[in-house]
């Protein structure tokens, strides 16, 4: 899913010369961020620096990059210093192959002198003085940033036409292997790069090494069930990336998601002498992701975190967004942190070993995302996820690479919300559609109901509440029911209504004693309400809970 190519490198590396040739080779369009800045100011870059200073130029350069990366099928020639602003790496990573063009300092200097002889206005202010010395200084300052590129291409002794073919082949190869993130997400704890492709687990070590060039050890946290299937493949992949690997196994299930388990994991990590440059790899479903993420966020005040989800629920929801934590006897996920994974590597082929019941459970989150898609992204995607899910039977998704695209669509919806509201102060609340009553049902069942099964009931309840309040049409309820029924998700549960309503009081989103409800108004759109009558909640819950 490569939508653009960005060329980075020092001045003189050939970015502006190669971009139009490469774009022509691919049938794309060239874009030059330096030219965009000059056009915006109506001045050459040296004069922009002289009049307004470097900070103004960098701000304009960032705006140009955002505009360029909003386009599809473009080859972007960037300015040499665009890598300096950490914020720029989010658009540079999202569906973009980053190619570093490099050459010997002597070659760069010779090219620049030839260029300046023809056009003195093209001289760069940061290169004034001893040109070779300045280039060497800039190289030392930026070397580590340029090394983040997906592909490095030496330009010495090659013609532009040769370079175009080398770049095109390298990008195609890396894209086919799924080694370009389809999305990147900015956060307070660092950039999160998101990868989804069947067969990608084998490249885990390569991706982790690319993100952490100096890391030495990887601590894999998993459960006994997942370890039997995917523990060794994960170990081998990380070892192939040059990591020393330790695997920490815990019992599977929600009952492990408690502070006692966190303490044991911390004892193991600290006992092994974990260092700040080491990484934690969460290999498992939502429970493992929450636990390992929480541990990674607090050990040594935070280490690198890789989420490798092995359940559908974790792939489309839990592994993205940075919520971590454990349960308390009074409720689910009441203790935790916000800590974005620095890397998410989702390989849908691992779902082959997922039990049928877990596949069905995870589908509830897929339906949830379909029902909030427009509210989450403010974009009309064709086809809407609701329509996409209606195109084939539930059973058929598991035998098609189209599942990769369904997972990407779900992750993109979740990531769009998180990008706008990381700490759940506003928009992110819509991700709790179906979870208000769903969490209460899950807790009242003593977690005997799977998370997705409880959420499915919560989705059914929210739609019925919305319909009773006149917020949505009568057609919405059966439409959502059909999506849930297609996966065999429960229509009812045998639980006492009073116990469920009691658990509802401990929901994290309760404010002033009133639960926060996310209610649908049409497929893809939801609203946040706190005025749902308690009697209506009781009536709807009683209709879904047969022991009520």
Binding residues, by number, are 12-17, 34, 58, 80, 124, 142, 158, 286-290, 310-311, 323, 332, 365, 435, 451
Binding-site annotation, residues for ATP: 12-17, 124, 158
CB 540 within 8 A of CB 477: no
CA dihedral 373, 374, 376, 377 (to 10 degrees): 110
According to DSSP, the residues that pair with 185 across neighbouring strands are 192
Cα–Cα dist 501/351, whole Å:
34
Number of other CB atoms surrounding residue 378 within 10 Å: 10
- SS3 state of residue 91: helix
User: Phi and psi at residue 323, in whole multiples of 5°?
Assistant: -75, 125
Strands 304-309 and 96-102 turn out to be: unpaired
Binding-site annotation, residues for Mg(2+): 16
- Tokens 């060794």 identify what position? 232
DSSP for 188-254, written as a single string: TT--EEEEE-TTGGGGHHHHHHHH-TT--EEEEEEEHHHIIIIIHHHHHHHHHTT-EEEEEEE--SG
What is the greatest pairwise CA distance in the chain? 86
Cα–Cα dist 326/336, whole Å:
6
Share of the chain residues as helix, strand and coil, in percent rounded to the nearest 5: 55, 15, 30
CB 532 within 8 A of CB 517: yes
Strands 151-154 and 96-102 turn out to be: parallel
Binding-site annotation, residues for NAD(+): 286-290, 310-311, 323, 332
CB 348 within 8 A of CB 311: no
CB 407 within 8 A of CB 316: yes
Binding-site annotation, residues for Zn(2+): 365, 435, 451
CA distances to 17, 270, 423 from 293, in Å: 44, 16, 16
Cα–Cα dist 110/17, whole Å:
15
Cα–Cα dist 235/346, whole Å:
16
- Tokens 């590129």 identify what position? 149
Binding-site annotation, residues for substrate: 34, 58, 80, 142
Cα–Cα dist 295/298, whole Å:
5
For residue 76 the two structure tokens come to 């972007």
Helix (H) or strand (E) holding 455: helix 451-468
Cα–Cα dist 263/322, whole Å:
20
């Amino acid at each position: 899913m490569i939508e653009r190519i960005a060329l980075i490198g020092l001045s003189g590396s050939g970015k502006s010369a190669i971009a139009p040739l490469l774009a022509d080779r691919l049938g794309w369009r060239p874009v030059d961020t330096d030219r965009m800045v000059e056009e915006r100011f109506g001045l050459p870059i040296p004069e922009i620096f002289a009049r307004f200073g470097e900070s103004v130029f960098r701000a304009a350069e960032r705006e140009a990059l955002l505009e360029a990366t909003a386009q599809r099928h473009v080859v972007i020639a960037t300015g040499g210093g665009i890598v300096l602003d950490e914020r720029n790496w989010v658009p540079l990573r999202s569906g973009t192959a980053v190619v570093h063009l490099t050459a010997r300092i002597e070659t760069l200097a010779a090219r620049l002198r030839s260029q300046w002889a023809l056009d003195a206005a093209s001289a760069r202010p940061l290169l004034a003085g001893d040109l070779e010395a300045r280039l060497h200084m800039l190289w030392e300052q930026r070397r580590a940033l340029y090394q983040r590129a997906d592909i490095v291409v030496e330009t010495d002794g090659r013609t532009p036409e040769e370079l175009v073919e080398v770049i095109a082949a390298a990008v195609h190869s890396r894209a086919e292997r799924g080694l370009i993130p389809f999305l990147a997400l900015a956060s307070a704890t660092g950039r999160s790069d998101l990868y989804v492709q069947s067969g990608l687990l084998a490249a885990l070590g390569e991706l982790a090494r690319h993100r952490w060039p100096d890391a030495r050890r990887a601590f894999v946290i998993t459960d006994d069930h997942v370890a039997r299937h995917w523990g060794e493949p994960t170990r081998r992949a990380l070892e192939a990336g040059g990591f020393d690997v330790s695997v920490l196994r815990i019992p599977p299930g929600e009952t492990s998601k408690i502070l006692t388990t966190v303490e044991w994991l911390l004892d193991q990590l600290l006992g092994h002498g974990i260092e700040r440059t080491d990484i934690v790899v969460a290999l498992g479903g939502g429970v493992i992701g929450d636990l390992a993420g929480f541990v990674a966020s607090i050990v040594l005040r935070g280490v690198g975190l890789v989420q490798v989800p092995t359940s559908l629920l974790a792939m489309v929801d839990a592994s993205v967004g940075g919520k971590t934590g454990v349960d308390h006897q009074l409720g689910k996920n009441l203790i935790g942190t916000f800590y974005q994974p620095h890397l998410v590597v989702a390989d849908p082929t691992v779902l082959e070993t997922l039990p049928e019941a877990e596949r069905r459970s995870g589908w509830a989150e897929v339906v949830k995302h379909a029902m909030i898609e427009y509210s989450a992204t403010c974009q009309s995607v064709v086809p809407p996820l609701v329509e996409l899910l209606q195109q084939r039977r539930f059973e058929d998704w598991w035998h098609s690479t189209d599942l990769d695209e369904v997972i990407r669509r779900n992750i993109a919806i979740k990531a769009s919300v998180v990008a706008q509201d990381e700490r759940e102060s506003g928009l992110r609340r819509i991700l709790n559609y179906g979870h208000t009553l769903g969490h209460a049902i899950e807790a009242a069942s003593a977690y005997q109901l799977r998370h997705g099964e409880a959420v499915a009931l919560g989705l059914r309840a929210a739609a019925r509440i919305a319909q009773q309040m006149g917020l949505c049409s009568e057609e919405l309820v059966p439409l959502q029911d059909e999506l849930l029924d297609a996966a065999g998700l429960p229509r009812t549960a045998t639980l006492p209504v009073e116990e469920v309503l009691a658990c509802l009081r401990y929901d994290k989103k309760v404010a002033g004693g009133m639960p926060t409800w996310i209610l649908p108004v049409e497929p893809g759109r939801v609203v946040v309400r706190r005025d749902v009558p308690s009697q209506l909640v009781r009536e709807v819950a009683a209709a879904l809970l047969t022991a009520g």
